[in-house]
Amino acid sequence: MVTQFLGLKLRLLANTFRRSPMQNLGIVIGLIYALGATGVTVAGLASLRRVDPLLAGSITVTVGSVIVLGFLVVPLAFGVDHTLDPRSFALFGLPTNRLAPALALAGLVGLPALFITAIAIAQVVTWARDPLSVVLASISAIVIIATSVLGARISSSLASLLLATRRAREITNLIVLIALVSLAPIVAVLASVDWDRGGLRALRSVADVAGWTPLGVAWSAPAELASGNGGVAVLKMLIALALVGLLWLAWRALVGWLLVAPQRRERGANPVRLGWFGRLPSSPVGAIAARSITYWIRDARYHTALLAVPVAPLLFVIALAVAGVPGSVLALVPVPVMCLFLAWSAHNDVAYDNSALWLHVASNTPGWADRFGRLVPALLIGIPLVLIGSPISAGVSGDISVLPSLIGVSSSLLFAGLGLSSVISAAFPYPSVRPGDSPFAQPQASGTGAGLIQSVAFFAAIVLSLPALLLAALGLLNPDVRGWPLAALLVGVGLGLVLFTLGVVWGGRIFTRRAPELLAFTLRQ
């Protein structure tokens, strides 16, 4: 039976190349990159044989823990491998005791398994310093392979169950994007570390912690033995073996459950409830606002744009902290930056409509109603953000006197940015991801000036808010003069509301005049 499953997996892999020549070329390029990465990792581990055991152990455990984490997370994050899914054999009457081992062994056939096998063997070379270390490292290699393969099979099977609905896949894509974007601060921190002085100490601290976790305990056992800690090495190896046993029990139980578990299906829509359309006024502004709020909640394209709102302040704070900016000033950064990106996220809203824009044109919707209704979701998020986030930021900074300046600057960036987006989205829309497509897809269009439009929408909002920014800066530089923060508040809020109103009116006139052109644009993009 195991032989049949292995042969089936090999045939499935061979069928991967039965595609168009361009797809096969992409597969070959991907294979070359994967083999290159594997070769570099293997060569690096092999070169550690002549390095001090403490340093070699720190590098090996850290890298190995990241690799094992990838085997656990990637199947959940980037999709499901439907080949040899346990539920595909539910009608064959195979007992769990025979099916679970066969599927687990079939997981050894494939590029990921070859990748981890090569690296596990390379770490044997790293610790080939005496016969006892070779024996322990060989056992560790088997444990590493078993842990990675079983963990990947469990993650893949759970993904096939949990990601069966479109809603679940959209949420997962959003989480993945947050995780990927969040890697940027980590890279910034790593780049700022002085590796000649404190970098190796930090690496050793990470390895010490990871060496006792399920991710790195199998990698850490040979390193402990090479460092002279035989008792700790044996203890860690026993923990690693126990972990493999637990993973096997979990895999066997999961296979048995999947054989009888029903398929998850999409829930049908409830035609009785109107959602936001039943909660907002029955007017052009209310209908458009209800539609916009629904889009912001359900459409993955809006989720992707909104990711910049919470992530951008983190990047700004880390970059400024690396540059030596004091913490009292860093506490004032998040709220204005979030308001800026929140307003910027609406600068191409018309392009997301696609064919739905014809409803606005056919019903002769007033331009200002379209412009204002689209901005309601941003206002519902931005106004509470300013009113709640500003006092918190001021309190964290330790100087409550900056609160008026903070509210003024944030309000100016929010309202002025939304007014500007109202004009730009009607005057200069550019192609976006089509409804139903992946939010990570790129529209196939050239010569649209998308980059220039995005830059103008972003930096023009800052330029329009310069009066409030300058007054707030004067308040920070002259804390004894109490009039500057109040002036920043009045100018920021007043100027922001004026620019918001002008943007809605001006953008509405552009929308009314260009409605047929905008409809043609959304249909052909």
Q: What is the DSSP string of 400-438?
A: GGGHHHHHHHHHHHHHHHHHHHHHHHHHS----PPTTS-
Please name the residues in contact with 331: beta carbons below 8 A apart, sequence gap of 6 or more: 393, 394, 396, 397, 398
Mean pLDDT within 37-50: 79
Residue 490 confidence (pLDDT): 93
Residue 266 counted as domain residue: no
Residue 91 counted as domain residue: yes
pLDDT: is 435 or 72 the higher one?
72
Please name the residues in contact with 310: beta carbons below 8 A apart, sequence gap of 6 or more: 338
Q: Which pLDDT tens digit goes with each residue over 450-464?
A: 778 888 888 999 999
Residue 263 counted as domain residue: no
Same domain for 53 and 157, yes or no, is: yes
Q: Is 325 strand, coil or helix?
A: coil
* d(C-alpha 516, C-alpha 360), whole Å: 10
Same domain for 463 and 516, yes or no, is: yes
Identify residue 243 by its one-letter amino acid code.
L
pLDDT: is 48 or 267 the higher one?
48
Crossing angle of helices 53-77 and 131-162, in 10° steps, is: 20
Same domain for 376 and 490, yes or no, is: yes
Residue 249 counted as domain residue: yes
pLDDT: is 383 or 299 the higher one?
383
pLDDT confidence tier of residue 446, bands split at 50, 70 and 90: very low
Residue for token pair 């539910």 = 90
Looking at the predicted structure, is the pLDDT value of residue 266 above 60? Answer: no
pLDDT confidence tier of residue 495, bands split at 50, 70 and 90: very high
Same domain for 251 and 286, yes or no, is: no
pLDDT: is 237 or 297 the higher one?
237
Q: Which pLDDT tens digit goes with each residue over 306-364?
A: 777 777 777 777 777 766 777 778 888 888 998 999 999 888 888 888 777 888 788 88
Residue 48 counted as domain residue: yes
Same domain for 194 and 308, yes or no, is: no
Residue 483 counted as domain residue: yes
Residue 150 counted as domain residue: yes
Q: If you average pLDDT over each of 118-127, 183-192, 375-384, which comes out highest?
A: 375-384
Same domain for 181 and 127, yes or no, is: yes
430 burial (CB, 10 Å; 0-12 / 13-18 / 19+) is buried
Same domain for 459 and 361, yes or no, is: yes
31 burial (CB, 10 Å; 0-12 / 13-18 / 19+) is exposed
Q: Which pLDDT tens digit goes with each residue over 355-364?
A: 778 887 888 8
Q: Which pLDDT tens digit goes with each residue over 11-25?
A: 766 666 666 665 566
Same domain for 206 and 348, yes or no, is: no
Please name the residues in contact with 469: beta carbons below 8 A apart, sequence gap of 6 or more: 409, 412, 462
* d(C-alpha 311, C-alpha 130), whole Å: 49
pTM above 0.85, yes or no: no
Q: Which pLDDT tens digit goes with each residue over 130-145?
A: 888 888 888 999 999 9
Q: In total, how many domains does the chain have?
A: 2
pLDDT confidence tier of residue 104, bands split at 50, 70 and 90: confident
Are 213 and 220 in contact by the 8 Å Cβ rule? The answer is no
* d(C-alpha 359, C-alpha 373), whole Å: 14
Looking at the predicted structure, is the pLDDT value of residue 150 above 50? Answer: yes
Same domain for 457 and 489, yes or no, is: yes
Same domain for 287 and 361, yes or no, is: yes
Same domain for 229 and 127, yes or no, is: yes
Nearest to 470 by CA among 456, 451, 484: 484
Same domain for 236 and 297, yes or no, is: no
Q: How far is CA 338 from each of CA 309, 378, 395, 450, 496, rounded to the nearest angstrom?
A: 5, 11, 18, 22, 16
Domain hosting residue 212, numbered range: 2-12+23-258
* d(C-alpha 93, C-alpha 90), whole Å: 7
Residue 463 counted as domain residue: yes
Q: How far is CA 368 from each of CA 278, 371, 375, 500, 507, rounded to the nearest angstrom?
A: 22, 5, 11, 12, 7
